[in-house]
Amino acid sequence: MDREVCKMNGDPFQETMYIEDNTYKNDMISLIFSLKEKVGALAKVLRIFEEKSINLTHIESRPSRVTKDEYEFFINLDSRNIPLLTDIVKTLRNEIGATVHELSRKKKKDAVPWFPRTIQELDRFANQILSYGAELDADHPGFKDPVYRARRKEFADIAYNYRHGQPIPKVTYTEEEKKTWGTVFRELKTLYPTHACYEHNHVFPLLEKYCGYQEDNIPQLEDVSRFLQTCTGFRLRPVAGLLSSRDFLAGLAFRVFHSTQYIRHGSRPMYTPEPDVCHELLGHVPLFADISFAQFSQEIGLASLGAPDEYIEKLATVYWFTVEFGLCKEGDALKAYGAGLLSSFGELQYCLSDKPEIQSLNLEKTAVQKYPVTEFQPLYYVAESFKNAKEKVRRFASTIPRPFFVRYNPYTQRIEVLDNAKQLKNLAESISSEMGTLCSALKKIE
Active-site residue set: 279, 284, 324, 343
CA dist 307 and 295 (Å) reads 19
CA dist 89 and 102 (Å) reads 9
**Of 275, 259, 263, 307, residue with least CA distance to 403:** 307
Rg of the chain taking only CA atoms, in angstroms: 24
**C-alpha count within 13 angstroms, C-beta hemisphere, residue 329:** 13
If one counts every other C-beta atom within 10 angstroms of the C-beta of residue 323, the result is 23
Residue pair 238/168 in contact (Cβ under 8 Å)? The answer is: yes
CA dist 278 and 178 (Å) reads 11
Residue pair 121/238 in contact (Cβ under 8 Å)? The answer is: no
DSSP H or E run through 103: strand 99-103
CA dist 401 and 307 (Å) reads 7
DSSP H or E run through 346: helix 345-350
Measured CA to CA in angstroms, residue 180 lies from 183, 240, 298 at distances of: 5, 20, 31
Amino acid at 446: E
**Of 243, 245, 240, 282, residue with least CA distance to 261:** 240
Which positions ≥6 away from 363 have C-beta within 8 Å?
Answer: 318, 392, 393, 395, 396
**Of 196, 225, 227, 244, residue with least CA distance to 349:** 196
Residue pair 213/182 in contact (Cβ under 8 Å)? The answer is: no
Amino acid at 303: A
Phi-psi group of 69: left, alpha or beta (phi > 0 → left; psi -120 to 50 → alpha; rest → beta): left
What 3-state DSSP class applies to 206? helix
CA dist 326 and 336 (Å) reads 6
Which positions ≥6 away from 231 have C-beta within 8 Å?
Answer: 203, 288, 289, 290, 291, 294
